[in-house]
């Protein structure tokens, strides 16, 4: 194992931290189709902020960053961490997995192992990826080359649960390979591994982690809709209920991003293909997807109650990323709030300290502005949509300074003292 050379394909939120971890013990080739990403990494800059420049500098000699898979032809382990998005009909889009498998097929040689980490439905590794590997490499699965699946559980923006200290589920296409895969991860992870009997079990274990969370959050969101009708503070109810040992403590909110809001569709797709309609999972998806519109409706209602004119009213949204303290905007449900508010005729500005200035140019269509605390503009309503640390420091005076007359503050994340309305 010691002399293994490892190739990581897809250097995003998952792949880059993994490459850095492996580089502590192995030579690593990091491949990404995005040339700009490769150039940034060569200059020790990670736009996801998951790996600090200092850390990238330290591993520079152990990782080759490249867009050319040929640079990885002497590797014997290939780890795939490419995106697994959905299309506009919420069906799995397996294009990145298929394309990266074809690329690996071009350099695959005898006894190599290809380990997939991307989140999928059970069966994708063996039924979709393996045929691509076989076709391009002309090698035979489980005779000439082998596969593994080890789902990633990292939580971007979370400095406590990092890739290194989360237990990793491992699997392999034969019992011997499963042990090899397990041993590989055990050499670099501090938290250890949990080996399972098949690739399909490992695939299923990941997709249900996010599905369970999605369903549980949908329940809390539904409860929030009910309690708001009754003028009951949902967060206080949750605090009280969670004094019971087996209550699952979750908060109501927007479910965006590329994991919890996407992965359940992988499972529902496969389930429906097999003839079973997963009503609970689909209903949960629908509830969570409707929360952006609900928050926009509540904002308008509070503005009307305060006697504000809606047409051309100035609304400020604080936060546009899908989660706190992270620059990731993928599938952010804050965009739903913005779209609804604009549809009704309000003018919307958005401030998010985590969105890069370069990207802001492209994002001006969403109304991104510089720090409003430092400006003079006054707003008819302020929606606190993401709990970035910076927003947690805002005081009542800050809100009142940004407000036009009576301040209407809508608190989606329960971080504002005395908001007009909170979820």
Ligand X SMILES: NC(=O)c1ccc[n+]([C@@H]2O[C@H](COP(=O)([O-])OP(=O)(O)OC[C@H]3O[C@@H](n4cnc5c(N)ncnc54)[C@H](O)[C@@H]3O)[C@@H](O)[C@H]2O)c1
Q: Is 339 exposed, middle or buried (0-12, 13-18, 19+ CB in 10 A)?
A: middle
Which of these ranges, 4-12, 197-205, 357-365, 381-389, lies near ligand X under the rule CB under 6 A?
4-12
Residue with smallest beta-carbon separation from ligand X? 12
- The dihedral through the CA atoms of 384, 390, 393, 397 has a sign that is negative
15 contributes a contact to ligand X by CB under 6 A? yes
**Nearest distance from residue 48's CB to ligand X, in Å?**
6
Residue tagged active-site, from 7, 129, 147, 259: 259
Determine contact, residues 317/348, Cβ cutoff 8 Å.
yes
17 in contact with ligand X (CB under 6 A): no
236-265: contacts with ligand X (CB under 6 A): 258-259
Using the minimum distance from each CB to ligand X, give the nearer residue, 264 or 319: 264
CA-angle at 159, arms to 422 and 166, nearest 5°: 110
| CA 191/CA 368 separation, integer angstroms | 40
Residue 9 in the binding site for ligand X (CB under 6 A): yes
Size of the site for ligand X (CB under 6 A): 28
Name the minimum Å distance from CB 132 to ligand X. Answer: 11
381: left (phi over 0), alpha (psi -120 to 50) or beta: beta
Comparison of 84 and 403: residue with beta carbon closer to ligand X: 84
Is 259 known to be catalytic?
yes
Among 30, 63, 92, 118, binds ligand X (CB under 6 A): 118
User: Which two structure tokens, joined as six digits, stand for 275?
Assistant: 């003839």
Q: Is 96 in the site for ligand X (CB under 6 A)?
A: yes
Q: Could you say whether residue 382 binds ligand X (CB under 6 A)? A: no
Indicate the Cα dihedral angle 200, 205, 210, 211, nearest 10°: 70
Q: Would you give the binding string for ligand X spanning residues 149-168, x where CB under 6 A is met? A: ---xxx-x------------
Residue 64 — φ and ψ, nearest 5°?
-100, 120
Two structure tokens written together for 392: 């947690």
| Integer Cα distance of 78 and 73 in angstroms | 10
Q: At closest approach, how far in Å is the CB of 77 from ligand X?
A: 16
Within 13 A of 211's CA, how many CA atoms are on the CB side? 22
Instruction: Report the residue number, 281 or 295, with the smaller CB distance to ligand X.
Output: 281
| Closer residue to ligand X, CB minimum distance, 59 or 317 | 59
Query: CB under 8 Å to 323, separation ≥6 — which residues?
Result: 156, 157, 256, 257, 386
Which C-beta is closer to ligand X: that of 9 or that of 383? 9
Q: Which is nearer to ligand X, 158 or 297 (CB)?
A: 158
Q: Give the helix ranges, DSSP H, for 115-198.
A: 130-137, 175-186
Q: How far apart are CA 168 and CA 166, in angstroms?
A: 6
The Cα 243–Cα 96 span in angstroms is 44
Does the footprint of ligand X cover residue 368 (CB under 6 A)? no
Nearest to 214 by CA among 250, 180, 178, 239: 250
The string over 130-161, giving b where at least 16 C-beta atoms fall within 10 Å of a residue's C-beta and e elsewhere, is: bebbbebbebebeebbbbbbbbbbbbbbeeee
Binding range to ligand X, per CB under 6 A, among 10-18, 124-132, 301-309, 343-351: 10-18
Query: How many C-alpha atoms does 111 have within 13 Å on its Cβ side?
Result: 7
Query: Of the ranges 80-88, 193-201, 212-220, 272-280, which one interacts with ligand X (CB under 6 A)?
Result: 80-88
Query: By CB under 6 A, is residue 83 in contact with ligand X?
Result: yes
Of 8, 18, 31, 329, the residue at the interface with ligand X (CB under 6 A) is 31
Interface with ligand X, residue 369, by CB under 6 A: no
Does residue 177 belong to the site contacting ligand X (CB under 6 A)? no
Tell me the window of 18-26, 148-156, 175-183, 184-192 that interacts with ligand X (CB under 6 A). Answer: 148-156
Does 81 contact ligand X by CB under 6 A? yes
Rounded to a whole number of angstroms, the minimum distance from the CB of residue 69 to ligand X is 8
* In the complex, least distance from residue 50 CB atom to ligand X, rounded to whole angstroms: 9
The verdict on 11 binding ligand X (CB under 6 A) reads: yes
Stretch that binds ligand X, among 38-46, 56-64, 97-105, 388-396 (CB under 6 A): 97-105
Q: Which residues are catalytic?
A: 259
Q: State the residues that interact with ligand X by CB under 6 A.
A: 9-15, 31-34, 37, 81-84, 96, 99-100, 103, 118-119, 152-154, 156, 258-259
């Amino acid at each position: 194992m010691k002399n293994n050379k490892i190739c990581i394909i897809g250097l995003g939120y998952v792949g880059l931290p993994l490459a850095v971890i492996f580089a502590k013990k192995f030579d690593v080739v990091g491949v990404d189709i995005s040339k700009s990403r490769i150039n940034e990494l060569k200059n020790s800059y990670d736009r996801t902020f998951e790996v600090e420049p200092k850390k990238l500098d330290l591993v520079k000699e152990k990782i080759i960053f490249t867009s050319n898979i040929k640079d990885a032809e002497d590797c014997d382990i290939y780890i795939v961490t490419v995106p697994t998005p959905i299309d506009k009909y919420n069906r799995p889009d397996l294009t990145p997995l298929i394309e990266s498998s074809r690329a690996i097929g071009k350099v695959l040689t005898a006894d190599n192992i290809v380990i997939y980490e991307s989140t999928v439905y059970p069966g994708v590794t063996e039924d979709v990826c393996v045929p691509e590997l076989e076709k391009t490499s002309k090698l035979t699965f489980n005779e000439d080359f082998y596969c593994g699946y080890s789902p990633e559980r990292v939580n971007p923006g979370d400095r406590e649960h990092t890739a290194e200290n989360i237990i990793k589920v491992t699997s392999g296409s034969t019992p011997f390979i499963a042990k090899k895969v397990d041993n590989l991860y055990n050499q670099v992870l501090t938290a250890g591994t949990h080996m399972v009997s098949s690739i399909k079990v490992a695939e299923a274990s990941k997709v249900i982690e996010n599905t369970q969370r999605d369903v549980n959050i949908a329940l809390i969101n539904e409860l929030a809709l009910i309690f708001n009708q009754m003028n009951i503070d949902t967060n206080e109810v949750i605090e009280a209920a969670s004094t019971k040992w087996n209550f699952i403590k979750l908060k109501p909110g927007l479910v965006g991003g590329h994991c919890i809001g996407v992965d359940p569709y992988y499972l529902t797709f496969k389930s429906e293909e097999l003839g079973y309609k997963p009503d609970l999972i689909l209903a949960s998806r629908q509830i969570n997807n409707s929360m952006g519109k609900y928050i926009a409706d509540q904002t308008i209602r509070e503005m009307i109650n305060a006697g504000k004119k809606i047409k051309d009213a100035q609304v400020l949204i604080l936060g546009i990323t899908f989660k706190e303290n992270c620059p990731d905007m993928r599938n952010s449900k804050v965009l739903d709030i913005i779209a609804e508010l604009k549809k009704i005729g309000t003018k919307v500005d958005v401030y998010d300290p985590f969105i890069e200035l370069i990207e802001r140019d492209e994002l001006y269509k969403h109304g991104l502005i510089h720090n409003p605390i430092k400006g003079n503009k006054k707003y008819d309503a302020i929606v606190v949509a993401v709990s970035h640390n910076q927003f947690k420091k805002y005081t009542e005076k800050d809100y009142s300074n940004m407000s036009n007359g009576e301040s209407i503050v809508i608190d989606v994340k329960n971080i504002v003292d005395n908001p007009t309305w909170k979820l």
